[in-house]
Chains A and B, each alone.
Chain A
Amino acid sequence: MIELTDVSGGYRGKKRVFDVTVEFTRGSVTCVLGTNGSGKSTLIKLSCGLLPLISGIVSVDGVKLSAMSRKAIAQKIAYLPQERDIPDITAEKLVMHGRFPHLGYPRIYSEREKAITCEAMKTAGILHLRSEYLSDMSGGERQKTYMAMMIAQDTDAVFLDEPTTYLDIARQIDIADIVKTLRQTNKAVIMASHDINLALSGADKIILMKEGRILAATSPDLALESGALEETFGVKALSLTDETGHTHYVFARK
């Protein structure tokens, strides 16, 4: 649904991503992997229209992103930034803000909006936190609240910038479960991540980035077999199979 064609872009006119061509499709999870500074976040921001393109085209369902209003983009694409301030607001109000792009003026939150908000909080597993302030929450609860806001925004594409960084392992699994739910509801989920196991087990497609370019965009299996993953990070992968037949990977210095 989102196509990038020869896209270059970066900050203040300085390119951080070079001539990238890639497509994100509905009902699939795409994981963008790469070392720090490889351009993952830049690629995501360019795809969401949050950074101006230096060259190339980003289109959503055939419509150029540059021809769409901010509001029209927000009805199609949700974005979870990597770092945020902690607003002084309750979970329920924040999640309700997810409906903002769908409301006309004046902004009246109807029963329907409230129902969607409530459902989103259920999906993210934070309904019991609805009247808690974000400032009083743990990092994991806060992250799930932001996920609930994105669910309430109800867009076809969802971009997550390192959603599991700084979270404990149980919270990481919670976030992975929410991502699976989003995939089941036929959304295109694109996330930048440092969690290779999460990418290998949960993603349909892996994009490997190095120095602002895409090294490979392929299935998790192929990314491993071709050695592209090892090359990207300069490590070697060892596979282990547990008693249930699941394969896990550990990585070691080459």
Chain B
Amino acid sequence: MKQSRIFSTPNSVFIMLAAMALVASIFVSLCSGSTGLSVTRTFHGFIEGSATPAGRIIYFVRAPRTLAAVLAGAALAVSGAVLQNVLANPLASSGTIGVNAGAGFGAALCGVFFPFSPALPAGAFFGALLTILIVYELSRRVGAARVTLVLAGVAISSLMNAATNSITTLVPDALPSVHAFQVGGLSGVSLKALLPAGLYILFAFAALIALNGELDILTLGDESAESLGLNARKYRFAFLTLAAVLTGAAVSFAGLIGFVGLIAPHVARIIIGGGDSKALIIMSALCGAAFLTLCDTAARAMFAPFELQVGVIVAFIGAPFFLWLLFSGKGRRKL
């Protein structure tokens, strides 16, 4: 157990701790914002409901925003974990292999032709799925070297972003806020937009937990999986589809947030080790959700009343962290 995990405590303990960290970050997020509300007033507002001004801020402004951060963080992190396992590539994530960009293109296209909120996550999903399948097919043909997948992702990302940019230039209303979308931002997110996306995310999450045994087997590699009686092609397609559902739903309301999907699964792996997909999925979700919630809180609070886009904070924290992960040896063996 030299490198694979750093502690020998049971996974359930770490999952409990991560869940507590998430609850704490949600609390911090609800308490902070451009209107200074004390902790007690936040609490009262929460209890009293939308009748009081504090309650209105909590229920109509902060709660949807916090919920959005939790959902997007969890969804991107879990899709990253699944992509890394299924593609047997630790560099995979919806950001690195171009799936975010594909989802963005799908969302923009959908915004032109079907401009109503439940359709947006579906459009983003089809964009994400299309990209995953293109990248996977391309990399499979050339032997799926780890870097090839990422390089293919870079190319697909540029292509999809170019397409998105063309659409948003020609049809400015295709996406709610083009700038926020491209950096990744949660300002102005509404419960109405969150509801369908949230349902997609919950569905994919439940399906992944239900199929965790199959994911364990698929992670062993195609030939081992097949010889253990798993139809590798079929299940890989199923898992890639679920990853696309998660990415598409998150991108539809949060825009192109990178790094969460790459970092959170690695942190989860360092804490709980490999070989248990269920624990990995839960841990990634908790880490991703807590991380994005805190980043969004920082984005709102640091320069209040001005706001940064959450994607900016994620990049400021995520990029150095990923470099540290890459060069410190903590994750090097797997990278």
Interface on A for B, CB 8 Å cutoff?
48, 50, 69-75, 77-81, 84-85, 87-90, 93-94, 97-98, 100-101, 103, 105-107, 131-133, 135-136, 153
Of B1, B3, B213, B274, which contacts A87 at CB under 8 A? B274
User: Judging by beta carbons under 8 Å apart, are B228 and A88 in contact?
Assistant: no
Q: Which residues of A contact B49 (CB under 8 A)?
A: none
User: Judging by beta carbons under 8 Å apart, are A88 and B334 in contact?
Assistant: yes
Q: Which residues of A contact B220 (CB under 8 A)?
A: 84-85, 87, 89, 94, 97
Q: How far is the CB of A11 from chain B (nearest CB, A)?
A: 13
How many Å lie between the Cα of A158 and that of B166 in the bound state?
Answer: 57
User: Judging by beta carbons under 8 Å apart, are B229 and A74 in contact?
Assistant: yes
**B216 in the interface (beta carbon within 8 A):** yes
Given A50-B226, A74-B227, A87-B221: 19 more A-B contacts, CB < 8 Å = A70-B226, A70-B231, A75-B229, A79-B227, A81-B227, A84-B221, A84-B224, A85-B220, A87-B275, A97-B220, A100-B213, A100-B228, A131-B1, A133-B2, A133-B3, A133-B273, A135-B333, A136-B1, A136-B4
Of B2, B221, B229, B274, which contacts A70 at CB under 8 A? B229
How many Å lie between the Cα of A132 and that of B227 in the bound state?
Answer: 23
Q: Which residue of B lies closest to A76 (CB)?
A: B229
Q: Which residues of A contact B221 (CB under 8 A)?
A: 81, 84-85, 87
**B178 in the interface (beta carbon within 8 A):** no
Most chain B CB inside 10 Å of its own CB: which residue of A69, A85, A132: A85
User: Judging by beta carbons under 8 Å apart, are A73 and B229 in contact?
Assistant: yes
Interface of B is mostly: loop
Interface on B for A, CB 8 Å cutoff?
1-4, 88, 213, 216-217, 219-221, 223-224, 226-231, 269, 273-276, 333-334
Interchain residue pairs with CB less than 8 A apart (24): A50-B223, A70-B226, A71-B229, A74-B227, A74-B228, A79-B223, A79-B227, A81-B221, A81-B223, A81-B224, A85-B220, A87-B275, A89-B220, A89-B274, A93-B275, A93-B276, A94-B275, A97-B216, A97-B220, A98-B228, A100-B230, A107-B213, A133-B2, A133-B274
Q: How far is the CB of A187 from chain B (nearest CB, A)?
A: 15
Q: How far is the CB of B137 from chain A (nearest CB, A)?
A: 15
Q: How far is the CB of A121 from chain B (nearest CB, A)?
A: 15
